[in-house]
Structure 1
Amino acid sequence: MDNANKLDDFDVNILKILDRDGRIAYSSIALELGVSNTMVHQRINRLTEQGILEAVRPVLNERALGYDWGAYTGLSLEKDGDSKRVIEELKKIPEVTECYYITGNYTLYIKILAKNHEHMRQLLYEQIDNIPGIAKTDSMIELGCAFKRNVIL
């Protein structure tokens, strides 16, 4: 049985409240749900231990931080076996914020943030293209996020 099947209504409601405001006090959650602080604390600990709740962290406004350019880039590798080494090199580039294994024409798919077009060019051509094992990159410039959310419970 997977972890999602172990969620009851209290767990789902706690996750929805945390999704709305990750900084909310446990006492506020308890008050909203009509349960004790202890129950909320125990449930959040259990959700974390089960790996359902990975972290509660801020959502940064990338544009407000000066990152006006985004790109989604497919990476073709010389050998798929190079993926672990390539991923370790990508982790060293702070502007690479996401990396996925995918099927199809590419082995990996990454999201890159840049301050301007010159910064994006430098990231793509001087850093990412120079990682040994990358055969080809194919980028699509992101024009803005229509929405971004967690899965709906």
Structure 2
Amino acid sequence: MDKNPEIDSVDLKILNLLMEDANMPYTEIGKRIQVSGGTIHVRMKKMEQMGIVKGSQLIIDHTKLGWDISAFLGIYLDKSSLYDEVASEMQKIPEVVNIHYTTGIYSIFAKIVCRDTQHLREVLHDKIQKVGGIQRTETFISLEERVNRPIPFGDTNQLDSY
């Protein structure tokens, strides 16, 4: 990874703490890394302007709201040059929560979330298979998600070497 000279160990410590708890107040982060809350605010604004921090999100356990099926789709395209067009159309499908342009046998690997198997069938048949440029799909139903986390930037006590 090319290091960004505008990012230092304080910035990485801030990011690590916020990845652990995105609701942590800037004053608490400042206390933990021994800088002011104002410094945290300024550095966060800098990282947002640089595109390193792209906002925050609320993570919801969809299964507790009755959306019990997560599935991954391996998508074969008629031509790989159709990726942008197909991805744009798939973004319009609310059940599609992730889209990846990939190497290997699939052109696209996507994740969808559905209420149940009937809903999954409807999404596949009535929405995804109707997107122009998709030749066929292979569906893999997830039985359990064990890990879903951001990549750590190392132990915050050891980041001074960054």
The verdict on a shared fold, with TM-score over 0.5 as the criterion, is yes
Tell me, yes or no, if the aligned pair for 1:3 and 1:50 is still in contact at 8 Å: no
1:31 & 1:20 partners in 2: Cα distance?
16
1:62 & 1:55 partners in 2: Cα distance?
21
Structure 1 vs Structure 2: percent identity of aligned residues? Answer: 30
Cα separation, partners in 2 of 1:116 and 1:4, compared to 1, 3 Å: farther
Partner secondary structure for residue 63 of structure 1: helix
**Which residue matches 1:145?**
145
In structure 2, the gaps of 5 or more residues are 154-162
Superposed counterparts of 1:30-41, under 5 Å: 30-41=30-41
**Which whole-Å deviations, capped at 9, do the CAs of 1:110-137 have from their partners, x for residues lacking one?**
0010000000011111110111110010
* RMSD (CA atoms): 1.5
Count of residues in Structure 1 that have an aligned counterpart in Structure 2: 153
In structure 1, the gaps of 5 or more residues are none
The reply to whether residue 56 of structure 1 matches residue 56 of structure 2 is yes
Cα deviation, residue 12, structure 1: 1.4
Partner secondary structure for residue 15 of structure 2: helix
**Which residue matches 1:42?**
42
1:151 & 1:6 partners in 2: Cα distance?
20
Partner secondary structure for residue 130 of structure 2: coil
2:35 & 2:85 partners in 1: Cα distance?
48
**Which residue matches 2:7?**
7
Q: Which moved more, 1:22-31 or 1:106-115?
A: 22-31
Cα deviation, residue 5, structure 1: 5.5
Partner secondary structure for residue 65 of structure 2: coil
2:16 & 2:87 partners in 1: Cα distance?
32
Tell me, yes or no, if the aligned pair for 1:70 and 1:142 is still in contact at 8 Å: yes
1:24 & 1:56 partners in 2: Cα distance?
12
Cα separation, partners in 2 of 1:74 and 1:17, compared to 1, 3 Å: same
1:11 & 1:17 partners in 2: Cα distance?
10
Tell me, yes or no, if the aligned pair for 1:69 and 1:113 is still in contact at 8 Å: yes
